[in-house]
Amino acid sequence: MKNRDFPKILRFFLAKTKPSRQACVHIPMNPTYNNLNNNSVMKKLSGILGLSILFALETSAAGVAEKHEFKAKTAEVNMEVERNKGEVVVHLQSNQFNQFAQVILERSGDNLQNFTACKTIDMTSQKIIDGDYIKNSDRFPLPATQGTYYRIKTISKDGITKTYAPVELTPLH
């Protein structure tokens, strides 16, 4: 089910549960009928409530990005990496993101030799959280059994390139 289909489903359920004028005026005296009618309305309302909670949780989880807590904030640009569900999540923190045109994420699998670019982040379109935090990922990392080093290169709006110290992502055993 797609998010845009939710209003159609909600309208369908609401249309089926609206009381008619006849139902308000005429109340049948058969207790079995009343229980059956109340149970079907309750089932529909429970379905609506369940769908609305599911939709609310899905949209709130997609829209909120948590800010990462860094172990140390001493460098001009702080970087930490972690494995998460088959990809490597890269956390960056800096007060100078507004001065960068691009940030290039590089990785090396052979002990600090031969770094290659694995992702280029365009800072004009990148969402910066609280003015100093960026979360991005390497969706196609090297094997988890292999030690990997990540580093970043920044290119300022003036064209100045800086390369920062690499960070090790330890292998899984």
The per-residue pLDDT string of the chain (173 residues; one tens digit each, 9 = 90 and over) reads: 555 555 665 565 555 555 555 444 555 555 554 454 556 666 776 767 665 665 555 444 444 456 666 666 666 888 889 888 888 999 998 888 899 999 999 999 877 888 999 999 999 888 888 888 898 988 889 888 888 999 999 999 999 999 999 999 988 87
Please indicate, yes or no, whether residues 50 and 94 belong to a single structural domain of this protein: no
The count of domains in the chain is 2
Please indicate, yes or no, whether residues 47 and 111 belong to a single structural domain of this protein: no
Please indicate, yes or no, whether residues 99 and 149 belong to a single structural domain of this protein: yes
Please indicate, yes or no, whether residues 32 and 59 belong to a single structural domain of this protein: yes
Q: Domain containing 140 — which CATH number? A: 2.60.40.10
Q: Which amino acid is at 53?
A: I
Model-level pTM?
0.59
Please indicate, yes or no, whether residues 52 and 84 belong to a single structural domain of this protein: no
Torsion of CA 46, 47, 51, 52, to 10 degrees: -40
Q: Assess contact for 82 and 170: CB atoms under 8 A.
A: no
Structure tokens at 53: 């909670």
